[in-house]
Structure 1
Amino acid sequence: MSEEQFTDISMTVCLTGLIIFMGFIIWDLGKKSQAGKMGTAVLFLVLGFGVVGFIFKNVLVEFLVLK
């Protein structure tokens, strides 16, 4: 296994774990602040939008730069 393959696999695994952990943090924040269902949904929408933007940026780079 080359360094490039190891880096690619470890970044994918670690970033996936980080995104899942951030989802747990958002859920816990909604629970501890007693935001209710609507408030928790808004938290996921607003705070999760940054994660979606990060993923979308990576998809665009893959398709446009490596084309």
Structure 2
Amino acid sequence: MFNQNYEQIESMLLNLCLVGLFLLMGMAVHDVMKKNDVPMVGRVVAYGVLGLGAAGFLIKGIIQVFWHAQGISG
């Protein structure tokens, strides 16, 4: 059974690790900006870039789900 679900388990663990990395990056960015008194515009830009990166991975995952549901392998 493990051999049959290996790809699915690997994909889930990769996604969980990416979520963890984005959370750690967000906390690191927040800490650096807090200690250096970054203006609001800089904070918006930094969080925007981090958010767009996370949104890209989310959209990639959604596209993969739709492709696999339609039988398109990628």
Gaps of 5+ in 2: none
Normalised to the residue count of structure 2, the TM-score between the two structures is: 0.64
Query: Runs (4+) of structure 1 moved beyond 6 Å?
Result: none
* Larger proportion of helix: 1
Question: After superposition, where does 1:1-67 map in structure 2 within 5 Å?
Answer: 2=2, 3-63=6-66, 65-66=67-68, 67=70
Aligned CA-pair RMSD: 2.1
1:8-31 CA-partner distances (Å, limit 9, x unpaired): 332232122112112112212322
Radius of gyration: which is bigger? 2
**Amino-acid identity (%):** 33
